């Protein structure tokens, strides 16, 4: 397993596109800043967790595809989302070491992580969308990740529902 992020990950910035949307005359807008989305089809091998085992104190906000989809649907329909910007993702972002402690180990040596500055976490505060739009996780993030890694049964709904 190899995580390939390349120069695009260092140089990519959506802020200019966001500004253009906000400044477009007469248009209503909602901007959602998404986390690293994972699920059965996208990042299903959890490469963005296992691939960063060598930096156990680093944090990167993730979001299960069902939780991200629910947030997008809610923002599409909720009147408070008009002309607003929200971060989407898990409520609390654990360190890579904390994530890995909940997952089954993978054999072999951990690959070297991409050459980033790991003093800077990639964590977003999702409290605004949770508060303003009453967003709650559809699936418990830790359980969903463990289920995807094969250490648990089918993912369970958040709150035991």
Confidence of residue 158 (pLDDT cuts 50, 70, 90): very low
For residue 56, the model assigns a pLDDT of 95
Top pLDDT among 66 and 10 is at 66
Lowest model confidence (mean pLDDT) among 10-19, 60-69, 142-151: 10-19
Alpha-carbon Rg for the chain, nearest whole angstrom, is 17
For residue 156, the model assigns a pLDDT of 39
For residue 57, the model assigns a pLDDT of 97
The DSSP element (H or E) to which 84 belongs, if any, is strand 84-87
8 Å CB contact between 115 and 52: no
For residue 18, the model assigns a pLDDT of 87
Report helix, strand or coil for 138.
coil
47-64 pLDDT, tens per residue?
A: 889 999 999 999 999 999
Domains contained in the chain, CATH given: 6-160 (3.40.50.720)
CA distance 51 to 49: 5
């Amino acid at each position: 397993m190899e995580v390939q992020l390349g120069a695009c990950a260092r140089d990519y910035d959506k802020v200019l596109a966001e500004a253009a949307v906000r400044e477009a005359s007469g248009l209503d807008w909602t901007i959602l800043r998404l986390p690293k989305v994972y699920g059965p089809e996208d990042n299903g091998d959890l490469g963005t967790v296992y691939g960063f085992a060598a930096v156990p104190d680093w944090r990167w906000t993730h979001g299960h595809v069902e939780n991200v989809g629910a947030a997008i649907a809610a923002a599409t329909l909720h009147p408070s989302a008009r002309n607003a910007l929200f971060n989407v993702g898990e409520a609390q972002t654990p360190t890579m070491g904390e994530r890995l402690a909940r997952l089954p180990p993978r054999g072999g040596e951990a690959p070297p992580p991409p050459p980033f500055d790991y003093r800077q976490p990639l964590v977003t505060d999702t409290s605004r969308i949770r508060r303003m739009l009453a967003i709650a996780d559809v699936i418990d993030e830790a359980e969903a990740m463990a289920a995807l890694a094969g250490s648990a049964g089918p993912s369970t709904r958040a709150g035991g529902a």
